[in-house]
Amino acid sequence: MTIRDTRSVGVPGKVDTFQPDPRAAMDFYGPLFGWSFDDPTPMPAGLEGDYYTARIRGRQVAGIGQAPPSSPPTWNTHVRVDDVGEALARAKHEGGTRLAGPFGAGPDGVLAVVADATGVPFCLWQAGESDGDGLDDEPNTWAMSSLHTPDVERARAFYGAMFNWELEPVPNAAFSLWRRSGRVVAVVTATDGVAVPPHWSVNFAVQDPDSIARHAVALGGTILMAPMDTPGFRSAVIGDPQGGFIAVSAAAG
């Protein structure tokens, strides 16, 4: 599996999900991926509820937090920045919109939610002193995030200006790769905005997507895309019991 840079400024650095019932989400994702969870900690200043860090072998793999009232569950991709305030100003200049925050301060870091120039939300994350030792590029951990946008060219201009990302088409594929300093940091796919709404999706590496899909159903989840072969991978899209969804994939062969 390709080793990605998830520690540098300007690249996606972590994922988490905000759920109406975080403990119910833990009861789904914990057994599904073999995650353990820390004791609850308060959400960042400005948000209400508790946050649970998910771990494998003691290392961070994701997080589950309390969704705002009346908000649907979401999986969130966080891009690391040096300074959230400066990044918010740059996002506005490039056609983005601040949706929420900044939240937090001090050793826990600062985050804000923005919409890119095509209207797709994601998080800006200024890591704090307590930035943990994350684990990825292993089964049952975050593999990649993918932007689904109705305007790839506008997205290219926005993320290029924000983070120095460069778009690389993939021959005979429906997606392109985002690269920064030559390294893959994300994926982008064009969507009509209807059949597949604009969003940042989160993909987890697994050993057997078929088994994970069956386990998800047994835990009360749903199958949005049955396991299927794609170039280089076998993938599926599953929904959790509260309506959040993720992709899972394993390298072919």
pLDDT, tens digit, 9 for 90 and up, residues 173-216: 788 999 999 899 999 999 876 678 899 999 999 999 999 999 99
Residue 236 contacts by C-beta under 8 Å, 6 or more apart in sequence?
209, 210, 212, 213, 223, 225, 226, 227, 228, 247, 248, 249
What is the Cα–Cα distance from 93 to 161, expressed in whole angstroms? Answer: 10
Mean pLDDT of 57-63: 92
pLDDT, tens digit, 9 for 90 and up, residues 144-153: 999 999 999 9
pTM of the model: 0.92
pLDDT-based confidence at residue 3 (cuts at 50, 70, 90): low
What is the Cα–Cα distance from 36 to 131, expressed in whole angstroms? Answer: 18
Mean pLDDT of 51-77: 93
Query: Beta strands 50-56 and 59-66: pairing type?
Result: antiparallel
Q: What is the DSSP letter of 159?
A: H
Domains belonging to the chain, first-starting first, are 12-126 (3.10.180.10)
Predicted confidence at residue 128, as pLDDT, reads 75
Helix (H, G, I), strand (E, B) or coil at 66: strand
pLDDT, tens digit, 9 for 90 and up, residues 220-250: 999 999 999 987 889 999 999 999 999 999 9
Query: In whole numbers, what is the pLDDT of the chain averaged over residues?
Result: 90
pLDDT score of 34 more than 50: yes
Percent with pLDDT over 90 in the chain: 71
* Largest pairwise CA distance in the chain: 47
CA angle 183, 100, 77 (to 5 degrees): 25
Strand (E) positions, 134-197? 141-149, 166-169, 175-180, 183-190
Instruction: Choose among 242, 247, 139: nearest CA to 189.
Output: 247
